[in-house]
C-alpha cells in the first residue's frame, strides 16, 4: 500500500466522499472483499479501485475486514447455505458495517437501502437483491437474538480465523486477548525523522505549527494524533521524514550500536540488508551512520520492481550515494549468484535479516492479512526463515552481528526459530534483544526503551553474534 495507507484510513468512512453515491462505494468494497477472500492482497485490490473512490472504499473495506468474522457468523444465522461469492461478499459487507451499533458510519436504513441499490447495479448480484434485502431487514429486527446465537463463536468474537486465535492462545497464554484486541484497532501513523536533517523534537514543533499533534516515540520517532497524507508532512519530499512503525525503527540501532561505525576509509564497515524492500530499514541504517561514515551497504531484494522502490526511497531521502550503498535484485538465499561478483566475496560486519513472515504483527495496518493467511503458511515460512539464517550466517565475519527480525507474533517465526538456530550453530551467541513485541499499547515491559512501549506493531528481534573460531 502507499505510505499513507498505514495511517489507518478506517475512520470517518464517508468523510470527503459525500459527492460519491454510497451504493457505488459498497459495490467496490464488496468486490474488493471477494477478491481478498479469493487470495488477493488488499494492496492489489485497492490499486484496481478508481482513484476518486479509493479513499472511501479503503476506509469502508478496512472496517469490514475488522468485523468480518462476526459478519460471517451472522450471515450463517440468516442464510445457512452459503450464497454465491459476489452475493455473500455484499451481504457480509453490509453486516460488518452494521456490527458496531454505537459507531455506525451511516444510519442503518440508509446503509440497507444503499446496499440494495448496489445489488441492483451489479449484474452478478441483481437477481439476489430481494434475498439481501430480506436478510438485512431481518437482522435489524432480530439483532439481539442473532448476536446471542453466535456468542460462543470464537471467530465471531475476535474477528480472526479460529486457528489464529487458538495459535495465539497456545503461544501467548497470558496475553493472547490483548494481542487480538490490539489487532482490531486502527494503527496510528508513525514517523521516523531523518537524523541527518533534524531531530524529532524539532519536527514536532514544525508539525505543531500547522496544527498536527504528535508525541515522541523511540529515538527518532513521532506518533501522530491523526493520520495525514504524506504530502501534508513538512519536508517529506525533501527527505526530512519517513513513515515507519516504532517497532521497525529499532532495527538500525539494535544492529549498529556498539559497532565501530566505519572510521577507517580503508576498511569500511560492510553491512548487508538481506530482504530490503521497500527500503525503510536500509535508509535508517544509512541515516544512523551518517554521510561521512566509511560504509558499504548492500541492499537485496529478489524482485526488481521492489528494488526500484528501494532506489526511490533512498533518492527521496538523499541517501543514494554509490560509495555507500548498492541495491541488487538478487535472492538472499543464493549468495553464490551475487556475493562473489558484487561483494568481492568479503565477509560482512553486520547483517540485517528482516525475513519473510506471516505479517501477523501488523494486522492493525493490514487487516486483510488475517483472512489471507492459512495455518500451513506458518510452517512453510518458518522453513524459509531457517534456510535464510543458515545460508547467510557463513557470510558474517567472526565477531560480527546478525539481526534476525520478523513482523510476526507467532513463536515459530521468532523465539522457536532462534532457539533452533542456536542449537545447531555453536559459533552463535544471543546478545540482549527485545524478543517478541506485542502490538498496540501493551508492549512487552523491560525489552524496549521506555518511550517506545506506548505504541508499536507486533515484532520479533534477536541479535546474534558470531564467536571467533
Sequential DSSP letters for 117-142: HHHHH-TTTGGGHHHHHHHHHHHHHS
Same domain, yes or no: 310 and 198 = no
Q: Strand, helix or coil at 432?
A: strand
Q: Count Cβ atoms within 10 A of the Cβ of residue 307 and give its class: 0-12 exposed, 13-18 middle, 19 or more buried.
A: buried
Number of domains in the chain: 3
- pLDDT number for residue 18: 42
How far is the C-alpha of 385 from the C-alpha of 388, rounded, in Å? 5
Same domain, yes or no: 327 and 212 = no
How far is the C-alpha of 438 from the C-alpha of 247, rounded, in Å? 10
Same domain, yes or no: 12 and 120 = yes
Residue 175 lies in a domain: no
Residue 165 lies in a domain: no
- pLDDT number for residue 165: 98
Residue 432 lies in a domain: yes
How far is the C-alpha of 182 from the C-alpha of 332, rounded, in Å? 33
Question: Which residues are paired to 402 by β-bridges?
Answer: 351, 464
* Triad 441, 443, 448: Cα angle to 5°: 130
pLDDT band at 265 (very low <50, low <70, confident <90, very high): low
Sequential DSSP letters for 227-257: ---GGGSTTTTTTSEEE--TTGGGHHHHHHT
- CATH number of the domain enclosing 31: 1.10.940.10
pLDDT band at 17 (very low <50, low <70, confident <90, very high): very low
Mean pLDDT confidence for 54-80: 97
Pairing mode of beta strands 396-406, 221-224? unpaired
Which of 307, 308, 316 lies closest to 286 in space, CA to CA?
316
pLDDT band at 452 (very low <50, low <70, confident <90, very high): low
- pLDDT number for residue 10: 36
pLDDT band at 5 (very low <50, low <70, confident <90, very high): very low
Same domain, yes or no: 41 and 94 = yes
pLDDT band at 468 (very low <50, low <70, confident <90, very high): confident
Same domain, yes or no: 254 and 362 = yes
Same domain, yes or no: 290 and 415 = yes
Residue 211 lies in a domain: yes
For residue 419, the surrounding DSSP H or E stretch is: helix 415-424
Same domain, yes or no: 309 and 440 = yes
pLDDT at 16 over 70: no
Residue 440 lies in a domain: yes
User: Could you list the active site residues?
Assistant: 407
Of 243, 270, 285, which residue sits at a domain end? 243
pLDDT band at 103 (very low <50, low <70, confident <90, very high): confident
pLDDT band at 258 (very low <50, low <70, confident <90, very high): confident
Pairing mode of beta strands 295-301, 348-354? unpaired
- CATH number of the domain enclosing 374: 3.40.50.150
End-to-end CA distance of the chain: 45
pLDDT at 8 over 50: no
Mean pLDDT rounded to a whole number for the chain: 92
- pLDDT number for residue 263: 62
Range of the domain at 52: 3-154
pLDDT in tens, 268-313: 999 999 999 999 999 999 999 999 889 999 999 999 999 999 999 9
pLDDT in tens, 106-117: 999 999 999 999
- pLDDT number for residue 219: 87
Of 180, 208, 243, which residue sits at a domain end? 243
Mean pLDDT confidence for 318-341: 96
- pLDDT number for residue 321: 92
pLDDT band at 413 (very low <50, low <70, confident <90, very high): very high
Residue 212 lies in a domain: yes
How far is the C-alpha of 244 from the C-alpha of 459, rounded, in Å? 13
Question: Which residues are paired to 437 by β-bridges?
Answer: 459
Q: How far is CA 32 from CA 25, 128, 285, 313, 396, in A?
A: 10, 19, 36, 28, 44
Same domain, yes or no: 233 and 320 = no
- pLDDT number for residue 105: 87
Same domain, yes or no: 73 and 127 = yes
- pLDDT number for residue 91: 98
Higher pLDDT, 364 or 17: 364
pLDDT in tens, 337-360: 999 999 999 999 999 999 999 999
pLDDT in tens, 417-428: 999 999 999 999
The residue count of the chain comes to 469
Same domain, yes or no: 399 and 460 = yes
Residue 167 lies in a domain: no
How far is the C-alpha of 21 from the C-alpha of 117, rounded, in Å? 10
- pLDDT number for residue 163: 98
Per-residue cell: 128: 439476489
Same domain, yes or no: 319 and 455 = yes
Same domain, yes or no: 100 and 35 = yes
How far is the C-alpha of 231 from the C-alpha of 243, rounded, in Å? 12
Amino acid at each position: 500500500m502507499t505510505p499513507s495507507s498505514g495511517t489507518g484510513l478506517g475512520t470517518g468512512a464517508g468523510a470527503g466522499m459525500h459527492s460519491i453515491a454510497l451504493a457505488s462505494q459498497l459495490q467496490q468494497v464488496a468486490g474488493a472483499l471477494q477478491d481478498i477472500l479469493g487470495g488477493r492482497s488488499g494492496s492489489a485490490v485497492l490499486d484496481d479501485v478508481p482513484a476518486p473512490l479509493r479513499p472511501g472504499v479503503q476506509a469502508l473495506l478496512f472496517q469490514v475486514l475488522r468485523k468480518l468474522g462476526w459478519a460471517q457468523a451472522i450471515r450463517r444465522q440468516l442464510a445457512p447455505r452459503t450464497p454465491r461469492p459476489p452475493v455473500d461478499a455484499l451481504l457480509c459487507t453490509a453486516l460488518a458495517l452494521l456490527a458496531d451499533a454505537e459507531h455506525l458510519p451511516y444510519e442503518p436504513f440508509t446503509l440497507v437501502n444503499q446496499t440494495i441499490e448496489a445489488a441492483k447495479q451489479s449484474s452478478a448480484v441483481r437477481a439476489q437483491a430481494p434475498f439481501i434485502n430480506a436478510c438485512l431487514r431481518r437482522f435489524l429486527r432480530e439483532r439481539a437474538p442473532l448476536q446471542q446465537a453466535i456468542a460462543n463463536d470464537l471467530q465471531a468474537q475476535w474477528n480472526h480465523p479460529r486457528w489464529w486465535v487458538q495459535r495465539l492462545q497456545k503461544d501467548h497464554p497470558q496475553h493472547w486477548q490483548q494481542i487480538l484486541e490490539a489487532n482490531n484497532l486502527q494503527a496510528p501513523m508513525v514517523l521516523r525523522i531523518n537524523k541527518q536533517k533534524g531531530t524529532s523534537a524539532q519536527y514536532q514543533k514544525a508539525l505543531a505549527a500547522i496544527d498536527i499533534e504528535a508525541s515522541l516515540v523511540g529515538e527518532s520517532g513521532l506518533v501522530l494524533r491523526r493520520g495525514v497524507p504524506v504530502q501534508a508532512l513538512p519536508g517529506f519530499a525533501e527527505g526530512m521524514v519517513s513513515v515507519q512503525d516504532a517497532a521497525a525503527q529499532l532495527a538500525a540501532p539494535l544492529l549498529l550500536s556498539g559497532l565501530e561505525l566505519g572510521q577507517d576509509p580503508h576498511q569500511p564497515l560492510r553491512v548487508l540488508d538481506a530482504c530490503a524492500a521497500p527500503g525503510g530499514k536500509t535508509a535508517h541504517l544509512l541515516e544512523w551512520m551518517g554521510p561521512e561514515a566509511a560504509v558499504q551497504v548492500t541492499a537485496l531484494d529478489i524482485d526488481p520492481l521492489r528494488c526500484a522502490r528501494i532506489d526511490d526511497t533512498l533518492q527521496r531521502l538523499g541517501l543514494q550515494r554509490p560509495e555507500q550503498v548498492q541495491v541488487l535484485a538478487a535472492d538472499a538465499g543464493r549468495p553464490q549468484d551475487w556475493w562473489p561478483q558484487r561483494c568481492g566475496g568479503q565477509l560482512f560486519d553486520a547483517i540485517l535479516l528482516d525475513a519473510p513472515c506471516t505479517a501477523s504483527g501488523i494486522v492493525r495496518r493490514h487487516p486483510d492479512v488475517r483472512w489471507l493467511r492459512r495455518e500451513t503458511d506458518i510452517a512453510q515460512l518458518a522453513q524459509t526463515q531457517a534456510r535464510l539464517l543458515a545460508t547467510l550466517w557463513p557470510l558474517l565475519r567472526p565477531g560480527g552481528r546478525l539481526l534476525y527480525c520478523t513482523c510476526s507474533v507467532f513463536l515459530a517465526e521468532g523465539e522457536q526459530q532462534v532457539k533452533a538456530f542456536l542449537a545447531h550453530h555453536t559459533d552463535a551467541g544471543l546478545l540482549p534483544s527485545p524478543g517478541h513485541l506485542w502490538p498496540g499499547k501493551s508492549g512487552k515491559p523491560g525489552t524496549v526503551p521506555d518511550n517506545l512501549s506506548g505504541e508499536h506493531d507486533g515484532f520479533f528481534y534477536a541479535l546474534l553474534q558470531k564467536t571467533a573460531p
